[in-house]
C-alpha cells in the first residue's frame, strides 16, 4: 500500500454525537457499518474484518469504488486508514472519538493526496477554494449520518443531507 504526497495539508470536521462513547465505537467498528450511516454509500463490502486486519470496499452512488485499509486500530478511541481507488493514489484518514465535559465527539481528519505532488505555492488556492470546502461538506454529511443513525436506528437515505459532486 503506497502513500503519495507529504500529507501536510489536512481537513478536519468534528461534531458532537448524541450517544455514548461506547455506542459510537460499537457502531463505527462494526463491519459494513457505512451501509447504515453514509449518505453517499451505495454499498460497503467487507474484504477482511478480524482483530488485527480490517479492510473493506466502499462503492459510492456514482459507482466510484474505494478500498479502505485500516492501519491503526485503537479500541474505543478511533482508527487510521488509507483510502483510495485500487492501484491509485491514497489518502490518509483519522477517526477520533473524544469526550469533552461528558459529551461524545467524533472527528474525521483527511490528509488528501489531491495536489500533494505540486508545490504548495501552486496547490494552495485550488486546495483552499475547491478541495477543502468539498471535503468539509463530505465529512459533515458522514458525521450527520452517524449521529442520525445512532439517534433513530434508521439507515441514512441516499444523499439525505444533500448531494455531493464527487460521490452522489
The model's pLDDT over 73-101, given as tens digits with 9 standing for 90+, comes to 999 999 999 999 999 989 999 999 999 99
Residue with cell 465529512: 139
Backbone Cα Rg of the chain: 16
Cα separation, 38 vs 28, whole angstroms: 11
**Average of per-residue pLDDT across 7-22:** 90
> In 3D, which of 27, 67, 37, 65 has the Cα closest to residue 139?
37
Instruction: Give the pLDDT score at 117.
Output: 64
Contact 43, 33 (CB under 8 A): no
Task: Report the CATH fold assignment for 11-152.
Answer: Alpha-D-Glucose-1,6-Bisphosphate; Chain A, domain 4 (3.30.530)
- pLDDT above 70: percentage of residues in the chain: 92
Answer yes or no: is pLDDT of 167 > 50. Answer: yes
Instruction: Give the pLDDT score at 4.
Output: 44
Cα separation, 111 vs 8, whole angstroms: 7
Contact 92, 68 (CB under 8 A): no
Largest CA distance in the chain: 46
Tell me which DSSP letter residue 98 carries.
E
Beta bridge partners of 107: 14, 96
Answer yes or no: is pLDDT of 152 > 90. Answer: yes
Answer yes or no: is pLDDT of 9 > 90. Answer: no
Give pLDDT tens digits for 101-149.
999 999 999 988 765 666 677 777 877 888 899 999 999 999 999 999 9
For the chain, domain boundaries = 11-152
Amino acid at each position: 500500500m503506497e502513500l503519495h504526497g507529504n500529507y501536510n495539508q489536512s481537513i478536519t470536521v468534528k461534531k458532537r454525537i448524541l450517544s455514548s462513547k461506547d455506542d459510537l465505537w460499537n457502531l463505527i467498528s462494526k463491519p459494513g457499518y457505512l451501509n447504515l450511516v453514509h449518505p453517499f454509500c451505495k454499498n460497503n463490502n467487507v474484504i477482511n474484518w478480524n482483530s488485527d486486519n480490517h479492510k473493506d470496499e466502499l462503492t459510492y452512488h456514482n459507482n466510484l469504488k474505494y478500498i479502505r485499509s485500516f492501519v491503526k486500530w485503537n479500541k474505543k478511541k478511533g482508527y487510521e486508514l488509507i483510502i483510495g481507488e485500487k492501484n491509485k493514489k491514497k489518502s490518509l484518514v483519522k477517526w477520533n472519538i473524544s469526550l469533552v465535559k461528558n459529551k461524545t465527539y467524533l472527528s474525521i481528519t483527511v490528509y488528501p493526496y489531491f495536489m500533494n505532488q505540486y508545490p504548495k505555492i501552486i496547490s494552495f488556492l485550488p486546495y483552499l477554494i475547491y478541495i477543502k470546502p468539498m471535503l468539509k461538506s463530505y465529512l459533515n454529511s458522514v458525521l450527520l449520518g452517524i449521529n442520525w443513525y445512532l439517534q433513530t436506528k434508521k439507515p441514512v437515505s441516499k444523499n439525505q443531507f444533500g448531494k455531493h459532486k464527487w460521490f452522489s
